[in-house]
Chain A
């Protein structure tokens, strides 16, 4: 069978995902919560679609960015109050 035809037939049988579908199930993919058949369809779409590959990379980069944001320290007066309460608790 012609390779192209085979691919088309496969994607038809598996159910082709649109870019919108990909964007809607991307977290399912990143969370490893996707069924095998959806994962195959997902990868097939990505193999053919640079836009969605970019989207996936943007999503991963977003998560990475959020992981690089340190929390702001608490204000010194709250910190002092806490240490004071700890001393109090220790005595009580």
Chain B
């Protein structure tokens, strides 16, 4: 391609600023830069919505919580010191808003009753009916887990059907288990960050994560056996 040809094309293209890193984004927000705000909204709002759904009973309420979270960002921006990542700070604001919201929502009561019984959830994360309970083989698998081949995570993540199965499995979890697995495995936060946000001990966090992952694994195992195996 001739240089001038290239130049004409290049000049005709809209200027798309390359993705800003977190501190550039924050600078932009503080200056009231609309581009920066739009970029921040596009980068984080999906995650915020997904987390909000673990707190409140409907998509509509979750969307309002996401909006309130961004309002909280405007208010708190000058005080944000960057001791946590921006994303973790957003999640902290979000959980506070979601909890306040939760107590105001009458529907939340029904939701909490439905899913809030995890404190007395005796289930240890593994179903007893997966294991032989008596005799010389006690403690062994009744139906031993199969080997999944190497590309299974990619395949599962790409299949619409398996994504729906995962979503349903996560939705069916008690609220705090859903919150922990969303933060840890969907959003990739560290256990320290999650303990801070949720104000739970490390052990408690791990127990919730264990139960949640065990249930999702079981759903996937059934799916893999039926559809991919």
Contacts and interface: CB of A to CB of B under 8 A. Distances in A.
Contacts of A28: 206, 210
B185 interface: yes
Contacts of A21: 139
B34 A86 contact: yes
Contacts, number: 141
Interface in B105-158: 124-126, 128, 130-131, 138-141, 144-148, 152-154, 156-157
Interface string B20-49: 000000000000101001100110011101
Contact of A78 (B67, B71, B148, B166): B67
Interface of B: 32, 34, 37-38, 41-42, 45-47, 49-50, 63, 66-67, 70-71, 74, 124-126, 128, 130-131, 138-141, 144-148, 152-154, 156-157, 163, 166, 181, 185-186, 188, 191, 202, 206, 209-210, 213-214, 216-217, 220-221
A54 B149 CA distance: 10
A51 B144 contact: yes
A92 to B, nearest CB: 9
B217 A90 contact: no
Contacts of B46: 70-74
B63 to A, nearest CB: 5
Interface-central residue, A20, A24, A54, by most chain B CB under 10 Å: A20
A85 B71 contact: yes
A19 B139 contact: yes
A34 to B, nearest CB: 11
A89 to B, nearest CB: 5
A54 B145 contact: yes
Nearest to A18: B139
A27 B125 contact: yes
Contact of B67 (A18, A70, A82): A82
Contact of A69 (B34, B74, B146, B157): B157
A27 B210 contact: yes
A72 B147 contact: no
Given A58-B217, A72-B50, A24 B125 contact: yes
